[in-house]
Structure 1
């Protein structure tokens, strides 16, 4: 959408906003710098980088309130579970809304007058038109240009990016997002050893839940993992194996409709307004604890 606006195919936007969780792959930050340098600045479109902190650091800090990420849980009785997903709201939606209020001139807790709003573009293509929803606040009105103006599918978007030399656009999501598929885990392991060490260490560090919960006595009543197999990430079955072996090693996941999701991941990217992680396994309780 930024490129379409910069080229004049879509109206010129006032700003583009990147919500930084502090734990994106290095390739994403490099790509963002390139977009800013080659597309946004020449078109006079400021890219605003907003943040609520570093999600990895916060999860391991006993003195910091942490919005839980959707960790896979193995309960003491062997049943699987999943902690509540609060990270998107805290680390993406919250800082974007804060910046929007500042742009409008009504920072929290100042009340925004009726009729004052921004038009916010959300990059959902026709493949996922059912995820196009209205904003949940009156001072933001969502518009979906890829659907309404362009009638573009994901394939159309990729084709357009390719013409701009951006075919290698990396997937934006936290380095250690539990919604990664095996393909993404392998890519990290095989192309960036330092980032692989980073996520393996984090996986081990959150085995008993986030540090804040443990410090306040709200201990996880099971074990937490980044990979859906619910084994340590460094030992998880992320390589290609036979269908029969998947059935044996993945238990209830088997080789049914979840097989592609197991390989490619739950979401194509972590969008603040349309994260497909919402459709993942249900959370167990309001506190992100296994019970």
Structure 2
């Protein structure tokens, strides 16, 4: 076995989703409570809430002072691409009302396309072997991922040899509540959940937060929801209309017509825990722990 194969990681990377847990991992490294990182990589779909970008700029400045460069990578603008009839069709997990009245969920390709792929390409490049060059056997980057103990089942190994995933929060035994406490202690208590503005996995709490705190984002989501009602422009422009009607909200109603108010007396913020089933986001879009999702009958081209 070569010395290269026997060596440790060539780089230590953080997959920075810019949400609660990954931000905690970044701050832990800045505070010297876990080993530092050579780079923190943020995969930008270019449709995050404005608050996420504002927080990201603040964290990046803080991390830079601690010697951790934060780098943004992107595969494009997910909203603009989805609405562009000239752009290749990439499916989002839209909610579907099928012609027979049943409901389903479209295939989920957006996480792989707009998050996983640019992060892999960046790691490939940082290791010194930009695509299409092969990374030599035994050379790898260690990649930290912010998964807390309450979601440990989402922790997965990387699917490529040049990345090895580690989970600092699991090693520390921290759950999401402890992460929120730590953010507050460090002066980052306003951190919100990271997810595309128009993510169909938002529960009512998420949609309500966007409506009340990001009016421009809300207007974009309402318009997006209207435009994709009969499928993506690229598919329909190519003479392949999708069966059924498509919606951002799980009720399969137009977004601006849905009653988003909480049933309980208390209102909840986007990042708070304990929402009921209707409010909750059932599955996030962490690049390394999402389910691709199977196609529903209404997704196939007519």
TM-score range relative to shorter protein: 0.7 to 0.9
The residue that corresponds to 1:252 in the other structure is none
Question: How do 1:1-291 residues align onto structure 2 when only pairs under 5 Å count?
Answer: 1-37=25-61, 39-148=62-171, 150-241=172-263, 260-267=276-283, 269-275=284-290, 278=291, 282-284=294-296, 288-289=299-300
Q: CA deviation at 1:274?
A: 2.0
Q: Which is helix-richer, 1 or 2?
A: 1
Distance 2:29 2:262 in 1: 40
**Secondary structure of the structure 2 residue equivalent to 1:260:** coil
Measured against aligned partners, the alpha-carbon deviations of 1:17-48 in whole angstroms (never above 9, x if no partner) come to 100001001100000001012x2011011001
Distance 1:17 1:288, change over 3 A: farther
Distance 1:168 1:217 in 2: 46
Q: CA deviation at 1:176?
A: 0.6
Q: CA deviation at 1:72?
A: 0.5
**Secondary structure of the structure 2 residue equivalent to 1:200:** helix
**Secondary structure of the structure 2 residue equivalent to 1:18:** strand
Any gaps of 5 or more consecutive residues in structure 1?
A: 243-258
Distance 1:289 1:262 in 2: 28
Q: Is the 8 A contact 1:24 1:173 kept in 2?
A: yes
Aligned residues: 268
Q: Is the 8 A contact 1:177 1:226 kept in 2?
A: yes
Measured against aligned partners, the alpha-carbon deviations of 1:182-233 in whole angstroms (never above 9, x if no partner) come to 0111111122322211110000000011111111122111100000100110
Q: Is the 8 A contact 2:144 2:166 kept in 1?
A: yes
Distance 1:90 1:279, change over 3 A: closer
Distance 2:301 2:48 in 1: 27
Q: CA deviation at 1:7?
A: 0.9
**Secondary structure of the structure 1 residue equivalent to 2:126:** helix
**Secondary structure of the structure 2 residue equivalent to 1:262:** coil
Any gaps of 5 or more consecutive residues in structure 2?
A: 1-24, 265-274
**Secondary structure of the structure 2 residue equivalent to 1:270:** coil
**Secondary structure of the structure 1 residue equivalent to 2:276:** helix
Distance 1:108 1:261, change over 3 A: farther
**Could you state the TM-score of these two structures normalised by the residue count of structure 1?**
0.88
CA RMSD of aligned residues (A): 1.8
124-133 or 21-30: bigger deviation: 124-133
Measured against aligned partners, the alpha-carbon deviations of 1:133-179 in whole angstroms (never above 9, x if no partner) come to 1100000000111112x111111111111110111101110001000
Q: Is the 8 A contact 1:55 1:91 kept in 2?
A: yes
**Could you state the TM-score of these two structures normalised by the residue count of structure 2?**
0.84
Distance 1:265 1:182 in 2: 8
